[in-house]
Each structure stands twice: as structure tokens, then as C-alpha cells.
Amino acid sequence: MTDRMDAIEERVAHLTRTVEDLSDIIAKQADEIDRLTHRMAMMVDRMAAPDEGGAVFTDQRPPHW
């Protein structure tokens, strides 16, 4: 019976470690997604302001039209 309990405890320890590792990975991914979302928003803002050297969207007419 103790062998079985030891095996169960060992398995729970491994599963706990795996969950903690996955939690760390998810937290890092969330940070990276937040950083990339912020950078993308800054790029869109720059592109939306052609007067400040940004690009003109193709669905907008150039100012000389």
C-alpha cells in the first residue's frame, strides 16, 4: 500500500511542477502579447497620422486630390 501511495505522491509532485511551469510560460506569453499589442497600437497611430511622417492608408485619398 505504501508503494502505491509513494507512486501517487510522486506523480502529484510531477504534475504540480508541470502546472507551475506552464503557468510561468503563460505569464510570459501574456506579457509578450501585451507588449506587442502596445507596439502595434503605436504603429497604427503613426500610420493614421500622415502629417507627422506616417504612411497614408490605401483607402484614403491623398491630400492633393
Each residue of 19-63: pLDDT tens digit? 999 999 999 999 999 999 999 999 888 887 766 555 556 666 666
The C-alpha cell of 57 is what? 492608408
**Distance from the first to the final alpha carbon of the chain:** 85
* pLDDT, position 50: 63
Residues in the chain: 65
The pLDDT value recorded for residue 59 is 67
pLDDT higher than 70, residue 9: yes
Residue 64 CA from chain centroid, whole number: 40
Instruction: Report the distance separating Cα 37 and Cα 18, nearest Å.
Output: 28
pLDDT given at position 31: 97
Contact 56/62 with Cβ under 8 angstroms?
yes
Q: What's residue 53's pLDDT?
A: 56
Instruction: Provide the grid cell at 39.
Output: 507596439
